[in-house]
C-alpha cells in the first residue's frame, strides 16, 4: 500500500497506520509517493522534501481523518528534525488535536502586546507616526495593517444657514414662521442614525430632532422678538458613530438700526444758502440702508453742484471723521456750520422714528454738507 521513492530509504516505508497514513518512519525519512491507495474518496499525496527543515518549498498535508480533504500548512518554522517530529508525533495519540494544530499554522498569530511606533522623521506606518502606540493586542497581522491603513473619518458640518434669510435685518422687522434650514457636511455617513437636531441657541430650545442628514429641513422657528437690536443664533448638531458630539458653526441673524442718506437741491442758491435742516422730514425723504454703519460707509449720491448731500447714522455707531473720494479729493469732517468750513461740519443729534414704523424715538447723528457739491460716490470713514 505505502510506497516510497525507491532511491530514498524505501526500507522505512513498509507500513501504514490504520488510516492509510504512512508510518512515522516515512515522516522521518524519504519522499513517499502515491500513498493511501485504500482510501475510497480521494488519494492523498504526502510529500516531504528531504531538505524539509530549511526549504521554502516545504508543504505538509494533514491527514485530518481518514480521507477528509487535506489542509496545507507551512513547515518552515520547524528548524530541527526533532521539532518537526515532536509536532507530527501527536497525530498518533490525538489526531483531532493534531489537525487543529495544523490548521492554526495557516492563521496569523495574534499579537500579545501593543506596538510602539519608532520611525525616523517623516516616516509613518499608515496613520501612525513616530511615538504613537498601535493597539495590536488580540489582533492578527492583517487586522493591524488594516487598522493602520483605514483611519476613522470624523463627520463634520461645513455650512449651516437659513435659505433666503438675510443675516442682517432691521429692528422691528418680522422674524418668525417656517424657515428652510440648509447645511452641508463631510463624511456624512459617519453620523449616527437619527442623531441630528436643529437648536435655537439663543432661546436654548431644540426646534426639531431625529433628523436624517439630507441637507435640508423646514422648521417653524416661532416668533422671535425684535423690538431692539438682537443677535439670534441657531446651529445644527449631530453625533458621530463614535458618539462624538458634532456642532456646526452658528448661523446668526443680527438686527440693527439702518443708516440714511440723501441730497437736497438748493434751488440755485449761493454757496451755503438754503441749507436743509436736520429733522424727521429730512430722514423720511432719504434712502434707507440696512447695514452696519460702525465702519466705513460708502454712498453714491450722483449729486449736482446745486445739491446738499447728507447722511445719518445711529448714535451708537462710530462717528465719522473723514470723507474720501480719491487721493486728491478728501478731507475732514467736523467744525462749525460755514460755507467756508469743511465739507461736513459736526453732526446734529436728533431723535427720529422709523419712516416705516418699525421703531421709534431713536437718536441719530445727522451730517449735512456745509455747501452744495457735485459728488458721485464718496466714503465716510472713522479716521
- Do 173 and 184 lie in one domain? The reply is yes
- Do 325 and 278 lie in one domain? The reply is yes
- Kindly report the CATH number assigned to the domain that includes residue 166: 2.60.40.10
- Do 248 and 350 lie in one domain? The reply is no
- Of 41-45, 67-71, 308-312, which has the strongest mean pLDDT? 308-312
- Do 274 and 358 lie in one domain? The reply is yes
Domain boundary among 128, 149, 170: 149
pLDDT band at 127 (very low <50, low <70, confident <90, very high): confident
- Residue 205: domain span: 156-256
Return the axis-axis angle of helices 95-105 and 81-93, rounded to nearest 10°. Answer: 140
Is residue 51, in this structure, part of any structural domain at all?
Answer: yes
- Do 86 and 33 lie in one domain? The reply is yes
Provide the number of structural domains found in the chain: 4
Model pLDDT, residue 198? 98
Model pLDDT, residue 121? 87
- Do 175 and 265 lie in one domain? The reply is no
- Mean pLDDT to the nearest integer, 230-252: 97
Is residue 110, in this structure, part of any structural domain at all?
Answer: no
Domain boundary among 233, 256, 279: 256
- Mean pLDDT to the nearest integer, 80-102: 46
Amino acid at each position: 500500500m505505502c510506497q516510497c521513492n525507491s532511491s530514498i530509504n524505501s526500507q522505512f516505508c513498509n507500513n501504514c497506520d490504520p488510516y492509510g497514513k504512512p508510518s512515522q518512519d516515512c515522516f522521518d525519512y524519504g519522499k513517499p509517493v502515491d500513498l493511501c491507495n485504500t482510501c475510497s474518496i480521494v488519494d492523498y499525496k504526502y510529500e516531504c522534501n528531504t531538505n524539509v527543515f530549511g526549504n521554502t518549498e516545504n508543504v505538509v498535508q494533514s491527514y485530518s481523518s481518514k480521507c477528509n480533504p487535506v489542509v496545507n500548512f507551512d513547515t518552515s518554522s520547524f528548524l530541527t528534525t526533532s521539532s518537526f517530529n515532536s509536532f507530527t508525533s501527536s497525530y498518533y495519540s490525538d489526531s483531532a488535536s493534531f489537525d487543529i494544530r495544523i490548521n492554526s499554522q495557516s492563521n496569523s498569530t495574534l499579537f500579545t502586546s501593543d506596538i510602539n511606533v519608532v520611525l525616523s522623521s517623516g516616516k509613518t506606518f499608515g496613520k501612525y507616526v513616530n511615538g504613537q502606540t498601535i493597539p495590536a493586542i488580540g489582533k492578527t497581522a492583517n487586522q493591524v495593517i488594516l487598522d493602520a491603513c483605514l483611519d476613522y473619518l470624523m463627520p463634520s458640518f461645513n455650512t449651516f444657514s437659513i435659505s433666503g434669510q438675510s443675516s442682517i435685518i432691521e429692528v422691528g422687522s418680522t422674524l418668525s414662521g417656517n424657515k428652510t434650514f440648509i447645511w452641508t457636511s463631510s463624511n456624512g455617513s459617519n453620523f449616527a442614525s437619527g442623531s441630528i437636531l436643529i437648536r435655537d441657541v439663543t432661546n436654548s430650545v431644540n426646534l426639531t430632532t431625529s433628523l436624517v442628514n439630507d441637507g435640508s429641513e423646514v422648521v417653524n422657528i416661532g416668533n422671535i422678538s425684535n423690538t431692539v437690536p438682537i443677535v439670534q443664533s441657531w446651529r445644527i448638531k449631530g453625533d458621530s458613530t463614535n458618539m462624538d458630539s458634532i456642532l456646526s458653526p452658528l448661523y446668526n441673524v443680527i438686527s440693527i438700526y439702518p443708516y440714511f442718506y440723501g441730497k437736497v437741491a438748493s434751488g440755485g442758491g449761493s454757496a451755503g444758502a438754503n441749507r436743509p435742516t436736520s429733522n424727521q422730514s429730512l430722514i423720511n425723504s432719504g434712502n434707507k440702508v440696512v447695514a452696519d454703519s460702525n465702519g466705513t460707509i460708502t454712498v453714491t449720491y450722483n449729486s449736482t453742484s446745486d445739491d446738499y448731500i447728507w447722511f445719518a447714522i445711529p448714535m451708537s455707531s462710530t462717528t465719522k471723521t473723514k470723507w474720501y473720494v480719491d487721493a486728491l479729493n478728501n478731507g475732514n469732517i467736523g467744525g462749525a456750520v460755514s460755507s467756508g468750513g469743511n465739507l461736513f461740519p459736526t453732526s446734529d443729534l436728533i431723535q427720529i422714528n422709523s419712516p416705516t414704523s418699525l421703531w421709534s424715538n431713536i437718536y441719530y447723528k445727522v451730517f449735512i454738507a456745509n455747501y452744495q457739491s457735485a459728488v458721485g460716490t464718496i466714503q465716510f470713514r472713522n479716521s
